[in-house]
Each structure stands twice: as structure tokens, then as C-alpha cells.
């Protein structure tokens, strides 16, 4: 299940039952990823986010059969990681949504369980649980995280009361930041965050005050306080959502999402204002869920499009967005990509899930590599 947008569930529909590996200049190719529950009959293995520090070091996170899921790429193969999980939770783990790695031996992952938020750290040899102030607050969820060092991370999500939530790691403890709510809005979700420095972060999501009122939301951290930065909703659209954001500096950020009905959305922050960038839309509709930028003129966004749903990737070259060809597993009738991480303008890894559909509810992990 894709993270919820103010009560609107966006189902994880993506792909990866593949054996092909990437070689230089091949574009996007499928990678073989393990689905831990593939032999159980009922499979719901989804990868929600990915972070790469090199072409041979990536960590992807998600959920599998209501339990935490993390997989690691070493340049040759993906393997499942053993996660300890919060001590309070024996069953009903919900999953991980975000990951940020500052090196091959340091990653932070965030998500939620049936008792509150989940945060864990990879220290090169294993995973350890970190407790946030909302770890025992049922209903609180962390969807995104961005770290600039081992002592500086920001995680965002939503509180038990349905308000925007941000928490900050200083190397020792997690603390809750004060996050403003848009005027007149009663609920808000921050879906993703990107920090180009410890004193500069941009978080995006959506806010509303009831059915049919949801609008894109962006907030900026200047090292002291969070402030709301007005975003735009496309002309003619009544709703808008932002699912992912990537900043290469405090004055260069790209956020992606969608606006009904299933129209891709990209907005650009220049340090002062947000502006909408025209994005291509496949005929049967599309959504963009994740984005990764390596410079102000190089971004890759991923999502899903069409009917049946297929993987989607779009690339920004500093002037325009264009669609890239992406593969889908041969037996997939419902596939999408939810997260992407690029280590150069042309080297990216994207993750998601795929399903046969046709009345079959199973989902399997998916990873694709671009070179």
C-alpha cells in the first residue's frame, strides 16, 4: 500500500520479477529483487524508497506481509536485510517508507508500526532501533527522511492528530520540531523531505480540511524554524498532491506529484517561489511518486501510468521534462515505481512493486537501474 494522502489510499502497483542486470549505456533495465513472502501464497512485498551513495551501494525499504522490509544492493545483487523491529511490536508491523544514506555504512530508515513511528539506523554491520518521541504514539507515521551526516537527519510525516510532523536527529536523540499548519486547513501530511545542508530542508505533501479540499503543501527549514512556502495547483485542477522532493541547494528544489485526474505534476523552487513545470502525460493518466536531482539541470522522476498500470520515468534536462522508456516484468499487469536515487545524471536506481492483477491481489518487489 502506498502511503495515504489525507485518507486517499494510493495502492502500490509496481514491478520486479526480472533477471536482467544493467550494463553501460543500456537505459533502464530490470533488476532481480527478492520478495521474502513469494512462497507464502499471499504476497504483499513493496519497496517504497531507495537511497544510493554509489552505483554499488543502495538501500531500499518497504513492507512485506505487514512487516518491515529492507534490501541492499552491492553492485551485483539485491539481498534482504534482517531488521530488529521495535520491541513493543510482535505482530502487525506496517512498514518503512523512507531511507537516507550518507555512506555505505550509514543509513537511516523511517516508517510506522501499529504502535507509532519506526526509525532504525544501519551502521555497516547491522541495524539498530532508534526511538523517536512518537515511537509510542499510535497513528503517527514518518514517510520521509533526509540526512546530511551521521549527526544531522530530518524526518517528516503526520501526527496522530493528522497534523504535519517533523522530527530532527542531532546524533544523540530525536526531537519534534514545531511545524506550522496552513491557514484554514485541519489536516496535513508531509510525504518527503530533502536537506541539501543541516540548516536547509524542504518538505512536501498536502493539506486540506475535508473531502475535495486537498492542495499541495511545501514547508522550508532555515535552521531555526519551519515556514510554509505557497505552492501552485495546475489551472483547472481542484486537487493537487506532492509525493517527492529533491534539492541540490537551498535555492534549487524539484517536487513531483499529481493533480486529478491522474495528471503528472512537477514544481520548481528557486529560493523564492514555486513554479509549475510542464510534464508529459501518457494518454491514460499518470502519477509521479519520487524524484532525484544531481544538479539544477538533471532530475529523474518516477511513478506509474496507463491502464493497466505500467512503470514511468521522466527526466529533466534543465529545459524540459521527457518520458524515458522503462521495462515492466513480463507477467505484470499492474506495476509502478515509488522511489528513485541517482548518483550521477545518468546513473539511477528506482524501486516499487508489481502485481499480476487480473483478480490476483499479490504484489512483488521491483527494482530498475538506469545507466
Dihedral, CA of residue 248, residue 252, residue 256 and residue 259, to nearest 10: 170
pLDDT digits (tens, 9 = 90+) for 250-272: 999 999 999 977 799 999 999 99
Residue 192 phi/psi, 5° resolution? -155, 160
Asked if residues 348 and 370 have their Cβ atoms less than 8 Å apart, the reply is: yes
- 246 vs 95: CA distance, rounded Å: 23
Looking from the CA of 166 toward its CB, the CA atoms found within 13 Å total 28
Tell me the pairing of strands 298-305 and 286-295: antiparallel
- pTM score of the predicted model: 0.92
pLDDT digits (tens, 9 = 90+) for 283-311: 788 999 999 999 999 999 999 998 788 99
Residue 115 phi/psi, 5° resolution? -120, -5
Q: Which are the contacts of 257, defined by CB distance < 8 A and separation ≥ 6?
A: 204, 216, 240, 241, 242, 243, 244, 265, 287, 288, 289
pLDDT digits (tens, 9 = 90+) for 182-229: 999 999 999 999 999 999 999 999 999 888 889 999 999 999 999 999
23: how many CB neighbours lie within 10 A of its CB? Answer: 9
Share of the chain above pLDDT 90, in %: 73
- 123 vs 105: CA distance, rounded Å: 5
- What Cα–Cα distance (Å) separates residue 51 from each residue in 83, 138, 332, 339, 371? 17, 27, 25, 9, 16
- Domains of the chain by start residue, with CATH: 27-370 (2.120.10.70)
- What Cα–Cα distance (Å) separates residue 60 from each residue in 64, 139, 156, 341? 13, 24, 18, 10
Amino acid at each position: 500500500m502506498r502511503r495515504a494522502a489525507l485518507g486517499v489510499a494510493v495502492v502500490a502497483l509496481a514491478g520486479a520479477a526480472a533477471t536482467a542486470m544493467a550494463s553501460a549505456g543500456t537505459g533502464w533495465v530490470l533488476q532481480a529483487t527478492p520478495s521474502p513472502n513469494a512462497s507464502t501464497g499471499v504476497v504483499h512485498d513493496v519497496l517504497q524508497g531507495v537511497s544510493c551513495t554509489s552505483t554499488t551501494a543502495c538501500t531500499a525499504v518497504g513492507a512485506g506481509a505487514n512487516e518491515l522490509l529492507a534490501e541492499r544492493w552491492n553492485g551485483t545483487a539485491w539481498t534482504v536485510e534482517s531488521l530488529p523491529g521495535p520491541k513493543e511490536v510482535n505482530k502487525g508491523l506496517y512498514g518503512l517508507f523512507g531511507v537516507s544514506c550518507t555512506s555505505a555504512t550509514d543509513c537511516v530508515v523511517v516508517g510506522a508500526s501499529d504502535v507509532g513511528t519506526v526509525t532504525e539506523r544501519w551502521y555497516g554491520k547491522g541495524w539498530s532501533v532508534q526511538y523517536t518521541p512518537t515511537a509510542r504514539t499510535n497513528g503517527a507515521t514518518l514517510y520521509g527522511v533526509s540526512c546530511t551526516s551521521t549527526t544531522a537527519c530530518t524526518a517528516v510525516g503526520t501526527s496522530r492528530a493528522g497534523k504535519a510532523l517533523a522530527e530532527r536527529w542531532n546524533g544523540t536523540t530525536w526531537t519534534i520540531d514545531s511545524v506550522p499548519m496552513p491557514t484554514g486547513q485541519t489536516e496535513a501530511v508531509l510525504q518527503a523531505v530533502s536537506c541539501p545542508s543541516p540548516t536547509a530542508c524542504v518538505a512536501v505533501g498536502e493539506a486540506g480540511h475535508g473531502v475535495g479540499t486537498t492542495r499541495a503543501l511545501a514547508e522550508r527549514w532555515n535552521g531555526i524554524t519551519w515556514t510554509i512556502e505557497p505552492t501552485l495547483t495546475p489551472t483547472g485542477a481542484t486537487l493537487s498532491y506532492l509525493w517527492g522532493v529533491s534539492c541540490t541547494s537551498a535555492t534549487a528544489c524539484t517536487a513531483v506529484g499529481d493533480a486529478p485526474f491522474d495528471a503528472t505534476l512537477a514544481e520548481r523552487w528557486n529560493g523564492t517561489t514555486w513554479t509549475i513545470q510542464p510534464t508529459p502525460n501518457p494518454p491514460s493518466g499518470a502519477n509521479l511518486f519520487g524524484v532525484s536531482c544531481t544538479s539544477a539541470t538533471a532530475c529523474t522522476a518516477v511513478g506509474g501510468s496507463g491502464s493497466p498500470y505500467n512503470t514511468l520515468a521522466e527526466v529533466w534536462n534543465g529545459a524540459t521534462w521527457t518520458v524515458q522508456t522503462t521495462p515492466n516484468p513480463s507477467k505484470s499487469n499492474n506495476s509502478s515505481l515509488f522511489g528513485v536515487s541517482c548518483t550521477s545524471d545518468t546513473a539511477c536506481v528506482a524501486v516499487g512493486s508489481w502485481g499480476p492483477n487480473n483478480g490476483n491481489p499479490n504484489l512483488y518487489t521491483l527494482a530498475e537501474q538506469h545507466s
